Each structure stands twice: as structure tokens, then as C-alpha cells.
Amino acid sequence: MNVDANIAELEKRISYVFNNKELVKCALTHSSFVNELKINKWESYQRLEFLGDAVLELVSSEFLYAGNSVMSEGKMSKVRASMVCEPALAFCARKFHLGELILLGKGEETGGGRERNSILSDVFEAIIGAIYQDGGLEEARKFIHKFVLDDVEENQLFVDSKSILQEKIQAQSGKTLRYELVSESGPEHDKTFEVAVYVNEECVTTATGHNKKDAEQQAAYLVLKKMKEE
């Protein structure tokens, strides 16, 4: 794996060039990579993730406060939580295919780590922390606005897809909604689940995920997108 190439590719995708390459190297490094290679002086993303989480909370709070003068504190807290939760950040990370650039140990990679929501969201926050350390709050704010706050409605649609679809179907008298597992494939440690979603016993679409819940969420999102286009 060419670390410098991964860094250069990330910079290209997010339109930000780091002055301190060590920061972005750390942000992309999972602990399994460090442990496997036994590199004592190479830090993983965990400390930067902690910092990035705080910066993300500040910027998203600022965004909601400034743009929603009549929204209550409770409502703002609820919306912010859905914007920065693990599935939402993983969804944002996939916008620029972050998974393929993460430095993972062989075991973690074999186990499907590149597409795991927990890792994608953690590295995404670590990148925010790295940008903050490297270029300050304004640069971090630009990144967050570009990849998290660019389309809040779309991000929330994905995160809450199952509950939103359930509400829409229930509002239409006599309609029913159910999910059905179509197939499981792949080795035990890295399975792919295919799920079909049925409305009134008609298969509307299918989707895949690394667990049944993720596949159902993706299927619901595809149905909502289809309904939106019609």
C-alpha cells in the first residue's frame, strides 16, 4: 500500500491539501494497521477522531442555530444527533469513497472493515480533526459544510429511511410494507445480505449490506428515492 498515494488521492477528493502530512496519515490509519506492522511511532486515528467529533458538533450546532430561528433546543438536539450519528457520517464518507483509502491491517480488511460504518464514521471525524489542526476552524468548517451539511435533507432521508418509509406507507390506506431476506453470500466474517422490500406484496426493489439491518435501510432509501422521483 502506497501511503503517500492514498494521502494525495484523499486531498484530491476533498479539495484540501495538508501542510502537515503526518496529520492526514494518522487520520487514515486504523489501529489494526499499526499493531500488525508493530510501528511504535505511527499513531492511529483515535485522538484525531476525538477532536474531530467536537469540531463537528460545534459546526453542526452553529449551522442549525443560525438557520432555524424558531427551532426549539430539543428539536435542534434531535436533528443534530441524526446528522452526526454513525450511519449518517458513514453515508457522507462514502460520497468520496473514503473506505478504499483507509490504512487497515490484513485481518480487519479481510473482515470487511473498509465498508464498516463504525470505521468509516470514525475516520471521517479524524479527517475533520486533522483539517482543524492543520488549517484551523474555517477550513474544517468548509469541509463539514461540503460533505455533511451540503444536503441535510438527503442525509436524514438515508439515516431515517426505514421509519420515514413506514410512515409514508401507513398514511396510504390499506397498504402494507415488509422486508424479506433474499440471500446471504460470502465468508462468515464478511457476509453480504440481500434484502427485498415489498409494498402490498409487490417487490419494489432489492439492496445489499454487510448485515440485514443495513440492507433493509438501503432498500428503504432506494424506495424513498423512487417515490420522490415519481
Q: Please, which residues have CB within 8 angstroms of residue 51's CB and are 6 or more apart in sequence?
A: 128, 129, 132, 133
9 a catalytic residue: no
DSSP 29: B
CATH 2.60.120.200 for domain 161-229, yes or no, is: no
DSSP for 114-143, written as a single string: GG-HHHHHHHHHHHHHHHHHHH-HHHHHHH
* CA 153 – CA 129 distance, rounded (Å): 25
Q: Provide the sign of the torsion angle of the four alpha carbons 96, 68, 63, 166, taken in this order.
A: negative
* Pick from 104, 91, 86, 88: nearest CA to 6: 104
The strand pairing partners of 185, in sequence order, are 192
Amino acid, single-letter form, for residue 3: V
Q: Contact 87/217 with Cβ under 8 angstroms?
A: yes
6-15: long-range contacts (C-beta < 8 A, 24 or more apart)? 6/101, 6/103, 9/101, 10/98, 10/101, 10/127, 13/96, 13/97, 14/96, 14/127, 14/143, 14/146, 14/147, 15/146
How many residues in the chain?
230
Which member of 53, 108, 122, 214 is catalytic?
Answer: 53
CATH of 3-151, one of 1.10.10.10, 3.40.50.620, 1.10.1520.10, 3.10.290.10: 1.10.1520.10
Q: Would you kindly state where each structural domain of the chain is located, as residue ranges?
A: 3-151, 161-229
DSSP for 61-115, written as a single string: HHHHHHH-TT--HHHHHHHHHHHSSHHHHHHHHHTTTGGGG-B--HHHHHTTGGG
Q: How many angstroms separate the first and last alpha carbons of the chain?
A: 44
Per-residue model confidence as pLDDT tens for the chain (230 residues): 588 999 999 999 999 999 999 999 999 999 888 877 766 677 889 999 999 999 999 999 999 898 877 888 988 888 888 888 888 899 899 989 999 999 998 888 888 888 888 999 999 999 999 999 999 999 999 999 999 988 767 666 777 788 888 888 888 877 889 999 999 887 776 678 889 999 888 898 988 877 888 888 888 888 888 887 76
Which member of 49, 122, 125, 216 is catalytic?
Answer: 125
214 a catalytic residue: no
Q: Contact 216/162 with Cβ under 8 angstroms?
A: yes
